[in-house]
Structure 1
């Protein structure tokens, strides 16, 4: 999951510029996504996730780190892209529910990246999911995701990248 965990933090730290929704509102009068979802953040976030995934591949294949999952460039790309698409989908739904950008939405804020990553993996690499994601792995993803999410957000808040610690 590391290639899916990195993109959100990287997007927050490296993003900015033109919003993905181009500042437009949905038919309900609210922003489609908000200013926090930018093209630069999406591109650099996905790139950071892919870079971490490639590092995992190199460490496993060339340095014998067999505890790392057997990734391919396709699986790390799907994990990284899916994480940010899941985050954007959650932002879209959040706006429709009248929640503001940055407003805390427990569970959805923490698991959006997992849902997005798994949707893409299941659609395009189903055999990989079946082979490498058993119940124990899925359990650990469910346990570690909110802990890592909270830690990353607190760090982002403390260094001034995020406006709120969630």
Structure 2
């Protein structure tokens, strides 16, 4: 198979996660998933940036992509996209948890972690949904997600959707 096919399949398989991850920041001032509680180290568990409303928006948008994909890939993609979107958001929350443990506040830059936590979560979701992603598809989406994350966050900053450009 050609590299173009691997890239296209990677985008297709990870599209629900990409959309889910990109849609959550549109929610401002939601109810924090950690209920503003601190971990044993005295720092917030996740922070205000991870809200129930953001999770709901992410799951809705990611699953809607799955409804569209199901027309081409089969009805099971509705469930696959929900699972993938959910695990992408779990990956994002794990990234936030790690950032808090490192003493990084909400919005602080953590190069690599910021761009790829949701991809790793989505990969676990795809695996659990029995979707086989090969190394070329995975590496393609890692590179694409890294670049897209930087570009879209910069645009969101300029549009005043985000308070920092990363």
TM-score (norm 1): 0.85
CA RMSD of aligned residues (A): 1.7
Q: Does structure 2 conserve the Cα–Cα contact (< 8 Å) formed by 1:111 and 1:145?
A: yes
The unaligned stretches of length 5 or more in structure 2 are: 1-13
| Number of the residue aligned with 1:64 | none
- 1:35-83 Cα offsets, whole Å, 9 max, x none, are 111100011111111112212222x26xxxxxxx996122111111111
- 1:74-123 Cα offsets, whole Å, 9 max, x none, are 2111111111110001101110111111100011111101111112222x
| Number of the residue aligned with 1:160 | 160
More moved, 70-79 vs 144-153: 70-79
Matching of residues 1-166 of structure 1 within 5 Å: 1-58=14-71, 60=72, 72-122=77-127, 124-126=128-130, 128-129=131-132, 133-166=133-166
CA distance in 2 between counterparts of 1:24 and 1:114 reads 27
TM-score (norm 2): 0.85
Q: Does structure 2 conserve the Cα–Cα contact (< 8 Å) formed by 1:86 and 1:115?
A: yes
Q: Does structure 2 conserve the Cα–Cα contact (< 8 Å) formed by 1:15 and 1:42?
A: no
Structure 1 ranges of 4+ moved more than 3 A: none
CA distance in 1 between counterparts of 2:129 and 2:22 reads 25
CA distance in 2 between counterparts of 1:46 and 1:144 reads 21
